């Protein structure tokens, strides 16, 4: 029983003075736009048709179409 009491006392001391572990590795940040070498692998922006940026970051996402007066593009794609 003496060893059990000693182990229990050590556990109590070690758990009383703990430091939190900061998470590393997989982050919960939103995924960034992937850059691809092949233009065919890139998806086109739904607002302007270009492939160098995601649709969420397009400067034309709030533009008004000159033809149909709809918001979100400037011409038919």
Angle CA 31–33–34, to nearest 5:
100
**Domain assignment of residue 53, given as a range:** 38-77
Residue 3, in any domain of the structure: no
- Cα–Cα distance measured from residue 61 to residue 37, given in angstroms and rounded to the nearest whole number: 25
Residue 49, in any domain of the structure: yes
Residue 68, in any domain of the structure: yes
pLDDT of 34: 57
Query: Could you tell me which residue, 62 or 26, shows the higher pLDDT?
Result: 62
> Nearest to residue 54, comparing CAs of 77, 29, 33?
33
Residue 23, in any domain of the structure: no
Model confidence pLDDT, tens digit, residues 4-49: 777 777 777 655 556 677 666 666 666 665 555 554 556 888 888 8
């Amino acid at each position: 029983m003496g060893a059990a009491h000693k182990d229990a006392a050590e556990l109590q001391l070690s758990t009383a003075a703990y430091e939190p572990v900061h998470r590393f590795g997989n982050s919960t940040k939103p995924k960034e736009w992937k850059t691809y070498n092949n233009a065919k692998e890139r998806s086109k922006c739904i607002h302007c048709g270009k492939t160098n940026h995601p649709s969420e970051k397009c400067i034309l996402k709030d533009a008004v179409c000159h033809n149909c007066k709809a918001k979100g593009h400037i011409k038919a794609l």
